[in-house]
Amino acid sequence: MQPFERKTAPDGHEVMLFPLTELYVTQGENGSYSHQGILAMDLVVVGQHDAPIYAPCSCTCVATLSDSNNGRIFQSNAEVWTPAGLQYVNFMFFHDENPIASVGSTFTQGDLIAHTGTAGQATGDHTHFNTAFGQYAGWTHVPPQNHGCLVNSSHIYDTCYIDDTIITNTGGYTWVTYGSTPPVPTTSKRSNFKWVLYANNFRHGIR
């Protein structure tokens, strides 16, 4: 997404966006460096330190983590459209040296919400981003390395649309753009019907 960007579907629900201006994955899911067993990704904005991170949807800070990584956890204020459907989401960032949010802080989609950084266990400036479906259900630790992650963690590419994001390194994942087409399946029956008619006509030589 881009600074202060907002995107709303025709049904009034926000479209969950990728929170950085650039997509550059430096460590993916289950990465052997420090992501064993978790779906988080490490993300950078090339050439920037303390790069801005924007609220991917209107949200509230629901928890802070007490270790040196300066983790901040947020929950959407309502259901949002994701590539996996309409639902609540929660998400977190690590390594911000100057966190903005404390528990109860509210943000509108597009607001500055955090920064990349080097706080805690970080060898270079980045953010450690983890997403989950549903309302915030807690922070847990998983084998084999006891890494922390959100309960009900989700694939980021199933959670955020990458509209208006500069794509530099996809990490090998397939990312989805919302575009201007509503993901709401309210008209799909009709267009499927037309397509079936067309296909049948085509098959029978009627065009």
Q: In the complex, which residues of this chain contact Zn ion (CB under 5 A)? A: 42, 128
Instruction: Output the smallest distance, CB 205 to Zn ion, in A.
Output: 58
Residue 56 C-beta: closest distance to Zn ion, Å: 18
Token output for 144: 């084999």
Nearer to Zn ion, 93 or 133 (CB): 93
Phi and psi torsions of 124, nearest 5°: -155, 170
163 beta partners: none
Least CB distance to Zn ion at residue 150 (A): 13
Least distance (Å) between residue 9 CB and Zn ion: 31
Nearer to Zn ion, 41 or 80 (CB): 41
Is residue 118 within 8 Å of residue 105, measured between CB atoms? no
Query: How near is the Cβ of 40 to Zn ion at its closest, in Å?
Result: 5
Task: Give 44 or 80: the residue with its C-beta nearer to Zn ion.
Answer: 44
Q: Which is nearer to Zn ion, 8 or 121 (CB)?
A: 121
Nearer to Zn ion, 42 or 96 (CB): 42
Helix (H, G, I), strand (E, B) or coil at 184: coil
- β-strand 52-54 against 112-115: which pairing, if any? antiparallel
Question: Which residues fall within 8 angstroms of residue 127, CB to CB, at 6 or more apart?
Answer: 20, 42, 43, 44, 53, 93, 94, 95, 96, 114, 115, 116, 117
DSSP designation for 134: S
